[in-house]
């Protein structure tokens, strides 16, 4: 396979991982690509919604098994075009030209994460791969899931299948797998803390007056970031001042007002998940916004609200959340009640929460940020986006790790000269981008545990 074909395969993996991320639930958003030995794409897929096919099983469902026949008798077998799935954008992109199927032992399978070896909601993907017997399997990452017998590839080699790790495949797939890898290894999500700031680096005016900070040019990108995470969280102050919805949505105005983004920083670490994720959002926003819009229900994150029992939000807030629950047909709210004086007898609060959440409200003290992350990890939340004022920088101060990321959207046309500074604005810079009047900084927290 020449360099150009390898590049095309990696680019397809990136697109597949991007489309998968945000709608696979607790499962990892894995990408899989099947090529011939020259690099021509034969089939591709990503992990489906939670409970559905893993990437390998989905890929082979689109490339039915055929007997190995004499080439002269096998020149007109069913083409990939006949397997078209109208609900799968990645299939149409990767298999736009009809291609004759070739025997499996003349194919190369590349998968971003090691195929599973255990029975879950679906049978082991390893067994399917061995049954289909590609010539070679290229893997991005070993699977840290304790249910997977990771690194034991003897069953492949005994079947005549060559297996090897591919560093470049690992690089392009890390932005989408980082959340899963973090949760499996630590029991907590991959955390992003986000804030929109003025040109002075302030997230609000001194009087905390409700006012838009970032410009409309960046709205589409920020909504797609919301679609890529499994949960979006806000603190008590933001709930009171903004009455936030936290659902993922794309409007026509967002599409029309967005501007192309560019990366300012030239260099970044080879394995950098945070910058990689935001770069992919900039790259794929225009071409995939219609797909995300059509599958809006599938990309809805959990909406996580941290409440102050002494300053409960208005009835409008609860009515808005009820409307979203009815719209999407699923209770996706999670409520934490933050108080150093825990009173679990608050019947009124539980009455408000019950119609919106499958879970009871969880009472936490202000020094129990660790428990907050632990509970979300137990719910299968791989990636968490914290919409930040000053609550999460304090609540999670001792819990942020060096794999977590800070994203600051600084609008150079907005001024709060006497405002409240975003405390993470001086952390280690990884990447900087420009979108219209907005400078976007991806930072690595130095307050590492």
Domains and CATH numbers, the chain: 3-175 (3.40.140.10), 187-444 (3.40.430.10)
Check whether 268 has a pLDDT greater than 50: yes
Per-residue confidence at 448, pLDDT binned at 50, 70, 90? Answer: very low
Predicted local distance difference test score (pLDDT) of residue 202: 92
Predicted pLDDT of residue 263:
95
Question: Taking 50 as the threshold, does the pLDDT of residue 376 lie above it?
Answer: yes
Q: Among 84, 115, 86, 93, which residue's Cα sits nearest to residue 15?
A: 93
Residue 209 has pLDDT above 80, yes or no: no
Backbone φ, ψ for residue 158 (5° rounding): -65, -25
Between 265-269, 318-322, 397-401, the lowest mean confidence (pLDDT) is in 265-269
pLDDT band of 1, cuts 50, 70, 90: confident
Within 10 Å of residue 85's Cβ, how many Cβ atoms? 14
Distance CA 357, CA 375 (A): 15
Predicted pLDDT of residue 306: 97
pLDDT, tens digit (0-9, with 9 covering 90-100), for 147-196: 777 677 889 999 999 999 999 999 999 999 999 999 999 999 999 999 99
CA distances from 323 to 95, 284, 313, 331 (A): 39, 30, 16, 11
Predicted confidence at residue 100, as pLDDT, reads 59
pLDDT surpassing 60 at residue 132: yes
Predicted pLDDT at 343: 64
Residue 294 reports pLDDT greater than 90: yes
- Taking all residues of the chain, what is their mean pLDDT, rounded to a whole number? 88
Q: Which residues of 316-336 are buried (b: 16+ CB within 10 A; e: fewer)?
A: ebbebbeebbeeeeebbbbbb
The Cα-based distances of 124 to 117, 130, 148, 308 in angstroms read 5, 10, 9, 45
Whole-angstrom distance, CA of residue 136 vs CA of residue 37: 9
Tokens representing 236 are: 């008590």
Query: What are the residues facing 435 on neighbouring strands?
Result: 438
């Amino acid at each position: 396979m020449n360099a150009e074909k390898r590049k095309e395969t990696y680019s397809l993996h990136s697109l597949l991982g991007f489309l998968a991320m945000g709608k696979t639930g607790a499962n990892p958003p894995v990408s899989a690509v099947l090529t011939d030995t020259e690099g021509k794409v034969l089939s591709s897929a990503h992990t489906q919604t939670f409970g559905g096919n893993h990437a390998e099983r989905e890929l082979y469902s689109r490339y039915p098994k055929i007997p190995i026949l004499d080439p002269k008798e096998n020149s007109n077998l069913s083409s990939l075009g006949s397997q078209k799935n109208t609900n799968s954008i990645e299939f149409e992109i990767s298999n736009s030209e009809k291609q004759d199927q070739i025997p499996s032992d003349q194919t190369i399978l590349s998968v971003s994460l090691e195929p599973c070896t255990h029975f879950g909601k679906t049978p082991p993907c390893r067994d399917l791969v061995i049954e289909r017997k590609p010539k070679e399997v290229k893997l991005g990452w070993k699977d840290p899931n304790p249910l997977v017998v990771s690194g034991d590839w003897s069953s492949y080699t005994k079947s005549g299948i060559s297996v090897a790790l591919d560093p470049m495949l690992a690089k392009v797939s890390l932005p989408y797998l980082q959340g899963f890898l973090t949760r499996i290894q630590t029991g907590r999500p991959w955390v992003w803390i986000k804030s929109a700031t003025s040109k002075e680096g302030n997230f609000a005016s001194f009087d905390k007056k409700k006012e838009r900070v970032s410009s409309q040019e960046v709205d589409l990108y920020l909504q797609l970031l919301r679609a890529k995470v499994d949960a979006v969280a806000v603190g008590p102050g933001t709930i009171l001042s903004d009455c936030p919805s936290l659902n993922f949505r794309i409007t026509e105005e967002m599409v029309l007002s967005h501007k192309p983004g560019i990366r300012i920083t030239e260099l970044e670490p080879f394995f950098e998940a945070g910058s990689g994720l935001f770069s992919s959002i900039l790259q794929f926003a225009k071409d995939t916004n219609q797909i995300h819009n059509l599958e809006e229900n599938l990309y809805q994150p959990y909406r996580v609200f941290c409440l102050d029992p002494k300053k409960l939000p208005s009835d409008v807030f609860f009515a808005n959340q009820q409307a979203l629950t009815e719209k999407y047909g699923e209770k996706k709210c999670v409520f934490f009640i933050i108080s150093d004086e825990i009173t679990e007898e608050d019947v009124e609060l539980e009455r408000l929460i019950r119609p919106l959440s499958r879970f009871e409200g969880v009472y936490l003290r202000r020094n129990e940020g660790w428990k907050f992350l632990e509970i979300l990890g137990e719910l299968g939340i791989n990636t968490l986006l914290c919409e930040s004022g000053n609550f999460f920088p304090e609540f999670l101060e001792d819990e942020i790790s060096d794999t977590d990321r800070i994203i600051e959207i600084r609008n150079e046309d907005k001024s709060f000269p006497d405002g409240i500074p975003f405390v993470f604005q001086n952390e280690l810079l990884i990447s900087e981008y420009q979108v219209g009047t907005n400078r976007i900084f991806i930072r690595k927290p130095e307050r590492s545990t």
